[in-house]
Amino acid sequence: ENGVWRDLFARQMRLLEGRVVPAFFEGVEQLGLRPDRVPQLRDVDEGLRRCSDFGVASVPALISPKRFFTLLSERRFPAATFIRRREDFDYIEEPDVFHELFGHCPLLTIRDYADYLQRYGQIALSLPEKHLWRLQRLFWFTVEFGLIRKPEGIRIYGAGIVSSAKETPWALEEPSVQREPFDLV
């Protein structure tokens, strides 16, 4: 498991240089994420609490939308505790600990971002359950696969891109990708 983490971490850190929002690297440093071992949830939880009063909660891979939004509303990000196998190195259907801790947690060190996710969870829980899919979809196109325009160019902030070797260059450099300005409607 540590070897899989090490290889994923090293590959992504190289790929993300010049492609991700700089705050991502600051978050990696603040959380003490290192290439040599899978971080322990309690250590990441403590780091997030120091930075933004957010935290992580251990979950069994996929959870219901209601549980997901409840955790966000409580300032806890759901994190699976398993890591992909070497045979699934490039793609895994369910989010694993690499996606959760490496992809999501560095930006959660930013208090405004953490506050946003908490409020997002609160708003989701205020809606009838039949409408949760709308907020799931919005989450998908922002927090999971979002890009942001910065003065130096378009940068990645979505965790699904941050944690994927194929998505990282594809999202920014593939000519056929449609990069649309954000429009809530």
HEC-encoded secondary structure of 136-153: HHHHHHHHHCCEEEECCE
pTM reported for the whole predicted model: 0.94
Please provide residue 58's backbone torsions phi and psi, each rounded to the nearest 5 degrees: -70, 130
- Determine the Cα–Cα distance for residues 55 and 77; give it in Å rounded to an integer: 6
Predicted pLDDT at 171: 96
Ranges in the chain, pLDDT < 70: none
SS3 24: helix
Predicted pLDDT at 106: 98
Predicted pLDDT at 47: 98
Give the β-pairing of 147-150 and 153-156: antiparallel
Predicted pLDDT at 169: 96
- Determine the Cα–Cα distance for residues 171 and 176; give it in Å rounded to an integer: 10
Predicted pLDDT at 93: 81
